[in-house]
Amino acid sequence: MAGDTLTSSEYIKHHLTNLTFGKSPETGWGFAHSAAEAKEMGFWAIHVDTMFWSIALGVFFLYFFKKAADRAVAGIPGGLQNFVEWLVEFIDESVRGSFTGRNPLVAPLALTIFVWIFLQNLMDLVPVDLIPYVLGEHGLGIAHFMKVVPTTDPNATFGMAIGVFVLILFYSIKIKGLGGFVGELTLQPFSAKNTVVQAIFIPVNFLLEFVSLVAKPLSLALRLFGNMYAGEMIFILIAILYNAGLVLGLFGGVLQLGWAIFHIVIITLQAFIFMTLTIVYLDMAHNEH
């Protein structure tokens, strides 16, 4: 393991560093071989591990549901069909309970968000050293760094949140019109019949409503990232115990099992919260004041 040759702080830093591809001021284009080199690559660097695992899990999600659809029968359903139908009904009930408008996009979007984020979060249950060991210098030698949980990367969570935010803006303008959308940002919560007083309220209203609007993608991204990053950090800290002797190693095994069981609830809850907030925010975009 990496912990056999690294100090505890170096071990933690190693597992929290993404496999980064970008342009280094010193060596040009290529993969970063240290956290400092990855930082030097700047904004346009790509986290290859985040991209690979998120896309791979998305493809697995599509394959899984396509396979269930191909095997669907009108008679007695199999286990796979039962599971997919239960999941679709669960998402449909969540949308009906939180979305009051009419939009055929919302339910498929909610299903995609929930399953995709759940699969990304589920990677947190893979032992922290397993995949890095297989792909790293002790195994195939393909990658020096490898983070397998995309949702522990703020680039991934902000990417999904910005996608939802674009839909919020699109439907806010489509349903209410540009004037109605601007009016929501400037004519509430404070209003007055006097024109002069209302003009004074406009910048105050805009400041309050703009902060509320921007807080939506921030709340989506940071909540998911913060919870998953903290969960990954705990798994890494527990893994360090395996190099601290037999007694602490056994204690670490018990802790890891307990935290993994509890973490199943967390990864499911975080996917559900992201999905539910998306539904609620889109519902707000469809409602005219």
Give the residue numbers marked as catalytic: 219, 223, 227
DSSP 19-45: -EEEEETTTEEEE-SSHHHHHHT-TT-
> Which runs of consecutive H residues, i.e. helices, occur in the chain?
8-15, 35-40, 48-70, 79-98, 106-122, 130-135, 154-186, 195-240, 246-286
Residue 231: other Cβ atoms inside 10 A: 23
User: Is 238 exposed, middle or buried, given 0-12, 13-18 or 19+ CB atoms closer than 10 A?
Assistant: buried
State how beta strands 28-31 and 46-47 pair: unpaired
Minimal CA–CA distance to 165: which of 130, 217, 203, 206?
A: 217
Q: Please answer whether residues 228 and 151 qualify as being in contact, where contact means their C-beta atoms are separated by less than 8 angstroms.
A: yes
∠276-279-280 over CA atoms, to 5°?
A: 85
Instruction: Tell me the two tokens of residue 15.
Output: 């597992």
Q: What is each CA distance from 112 to 13, 115, 170, in whole angstroms?
A: 32, 5, 19
**Helix (H) or strand (E) segment spanning residue 47:** strand 46-47
Q: Tell me if 24 sits within 8 A of 32, measured CB to CB.
A: yes
Q: What is residue 240's DSSP assignment?
A: H
The closest of 124, 143, 158 to 239, measured between CA atoms, is 124
